[in-house]
Amino acid sequence: MLQRQQVRTVIQLGHVVQRSPEFDIGARVEHYPGSSRTDPVIIGGQPQNVSGPVVCSTNAGRFSIAVGDMATGIIVGLEPDGSVVHSAGLGTVDGVVMSFTEGVPDENASATKTDNSYHITGVASGVDNAGQQVHKPFEVDVTCP
């Protein structure tokens, strides 16, 4: 059985840069309140294999939500109230590293927040092996611990 740990994790650009005992990251992605869907991340209409701890933190005035580990997880930078999504690192889909960055043409994202749950949608992009720009819609449903 997994024991809850009291740990604060600061994540920058998908990398753990600091840990300290004071913040509970015991929550794990398992289900999403208000949704019958059990997949936390959908990209291009396909559920992605993302599971693991949910870490919601603020570092240097920037709020982020990270789900899972660095190899298979995702990270979204947004305002704590969900009013603006600044960036999203969504991992590799069909060999393409997908991401969203605020202000990039042909990309968009928005979020809604209910209690500690976030529903984030948008269009992310990446470049395939042939050098072609690829755009895919994405959805992220996550609850901060």
83-104 confidence digits (pLDDT tens):
999 999 999 999 999 999 999 9
Report the b/e string of 26-38 with b at 16+ CB within 10 A.
Answer: ebebeebeeeeee
Q: Is residue 28 part of a domain?
A: yes
Residue 69 lies inside a defined structural domain of this protein: yes
Domains held by the chain: number: 1
pLDDT cut 70: percent of the chain above it:
73
Q: Is residue 1 in some structural domain?
A: no
Rg over alpha carbons for the chain, rounded to the nearest Å, is 15
Would the pLDDT of 130 be above 50?
yes
Beta strand spans in the chain (E): 6-12, 15-24, 41-43, 46-47, 54-59, 62-67, 74-78, 85-93, 96-101, 108-114, 117-127, 133-143
Between these two residues, 91 and 25, which has the higher pLDDT value? Answer: 91
Domain contains 48: yes
The model carries a pTM of: 0.73
Q: Does residue 58 belong to any structural domain of this protein?
A: yes
Which domain range does residue 101 map to? 6-143
